[in-house]
Structure 1
Amino acid sequence: MRRDVRILLLGEAQVGKTSLILSLVGEEFPEEVPPRAEEITIPADVTPEKVPTHIVDYSEAEQTDEELRQEIHKANVVCVVYDVSEEATIEKIRTKWIPLVNGGSTRGPRVPIILVGNKSDLRPGSSMEAVLPIMSQFPEIETCVECSAKNLRNISELFYYAQKAVLHPTAPLYDPEAKRVTSCQPG
C-alpha cells in the first residue's frame, strides 16, 4: 500500500483549479483567488483511505514548462480541470493536456487521469456528452467528475476519486487497450 498520494491539478487558465483546492480546504468558496495555491498536504486521519494526500496546483502564468514537466513526473494522479461552460477548455483536454501528461511517458504505466468539469453552477445539464469521446479515446482516464467550487458540489468526491485511482488502480489489472486482464506485479 502506498504511504501517500500526490494529486496534480492541470488545465487552462481560469477554469477554477485554485478555487477547487481552496474550496476543499476552506469548505467555502474563496472571495479572493490567488494565481496559484501553495502545495497542500491533507493529513492521513482526515482522508477516507487514511493516507497523507498532497494537492499541487499548476499555473501557466507562474510556472515554466520545465516545472510543469517535473510536477507531472512526481504526480501519482493528474486531475485535468476544464470549465463546463467553455467548449475550448474541453477541446484542450484532448489536444494539449493528455498528450502533455502521458505523451512522452516512457516510465511504464501511464499516469491515471481524472477529468474535472468545474463551474457546473454556470451550465444547466451536463458536459458528459462532450467528454465521453475523449474518455473512450484515452484509456488512462479513470473517471470524470462534474463539480462546482462555488457551490462546493462534488469537491470532496473529486479528491476521493483521485486518491482511489492511485490506491486502487484498475490499470495493472485490466489493460483496456488489449481488453484483457493482466498479471499483477507489486509496484
Structure 2
Amino acid sequence: MRRHVRILLLGEPKVGKTSLIMSLVGEEFPNEVPARAEEITIPADVTPEKVPTHIVDYSETEQTDEVLRQEIVKANVVCVVYDVTQEETIDKIRTKWIPLVNGGVEKGSKIPIILVGNKSDLRTGSSMENILPIMNQFSEIETCVECSARNLKNISELFYYAQKAVLHPTAPLYDPEDKQVRVEL
C-alpha cells in the first residue's frame, strides 16, 4: 500500500486549477485567486483512504517547463483540467497535455490521468460528447469529472477519484488497448 498520494493539476491558464484546490481546502469559492496555489497536504485522517495526499498546482506563467517535467515525474496521478465552456482547452488535452505527461513512456508505466471539466456552472448540458473520443484514444485516462469550483460541485469527488486511481488502479488488471484482463501476480 502506498504511503502517500501526489496529485498534480495541469491545464491551460484560467481553466480553474487553483480555484479547484482553494475551493477544496477552504470549502468555499475564493474571492481572490493567486496565479498558483502552494502545495497542499491533506492529512491521512481526513481522506477516505487514510493516506496523506499532496496536491500540487502548476502555472505556466509562474513556472518553467523544467519544473513541470520534474513535477510530472514526482506525480502519482495527473488531473488535466479544462474549461467546459472553452473548446480550445479541450483540444489541448489531446495535443499538449497527455503527450507531455506520458509521451514516449512505455504502456505499462504511464501515469494515470483524470480529466477535470471545470466551470460546469457556466454551461448547460455536458462536455462529455467532446471528451469521450479522447478517453477512448488514451488508455491512461481513468475517468472524467465535471465540476464547478464556484459552486463546490464534485470537488471532493474529483480528488477522491484521483486518490483512487493511485491506490486502486485498474491498469494492472485490465488492458483497454488489448481488451484483456491480465492475470499476472
Q: Deviations over 1:24-82 (max 9, x none)?
A: 00000000000000000000000000000000000000111010000000000000000
* In structure 2, distance between residues paired with 1:31 and 1:62: 20
The whole-number CA distance in structure 1 between the counterparts of 2:175 and 2:115 is 20
Between the aligned partners of 2:112 and 2:171, the Cα distance in structure 1 is: 8
Matched with 1:65 is 65
- 1:46 matched to 2:46? The reply is yes
Residue in 1 aligned with 2:115?
115
Gaps of 5+ in 2: none
Distance in 1, matches of 2:108 and 2:175, equals 13
Trace 1:131-142 onto structure 2 (pairs within 5 A): 131-142=131-142
1:127 alignment counterpart:
127
TM-score by structure 2 length?
Answer: 0.98
8 A Cα contact 1:114 1:141, kept in partner: yes
Residue correspondence of structure 1 range 146-157 to structure 2 within 5 A:
146-157=146-157
Q: Deviations over 1:79-112 (max 9, x none)?
A: 0000000000000000000000000325942100
SS of equivalent to 2:79: strand
Q: TM-score, normalised by structure 1?
A: 0.97
Amino acid at match of 2:171: A
What is aligned with 1:90? 90
Greater CA drift, 99-108 or 76-85? 99-108
User: Runs of at least 4 residues of structure 1 off by over 6 A?
Assistant: none
The question of whether the paired residues in 2 share the 8 Å contact of 1:109 and 1:171 is answered with no
SS in 1 for 2:94: helix
* 1:5 alignment counterpart: 5
Corresponding residue pairs, total = 185
For 1:36, give the aligned amino acid: R
State the one-letter code of the partner of 1:132. L
| Counterpart contact for 1:78–1:113, Cα < 8 Å | yes
User: Which residue does the alignment assign to 2:21?
Assistant: 21
Distance change >3 Å, CA 176–CA 160, structure 1 → 2: same
SS state of the match for residue 104, structure 1? coil
Please list the CA deviations of residues 121-165 of structure 1 after superposition, one character each: whole Å capped at 9, or x if unmatched.
Answer: 000010000100000000100000000000000000000000000
Question: Is it true that 1:165 corresponds to 2:168 in the alignment?
Answer: no
- Structure 1 segments unaligned to the other structure (5+ residues): none
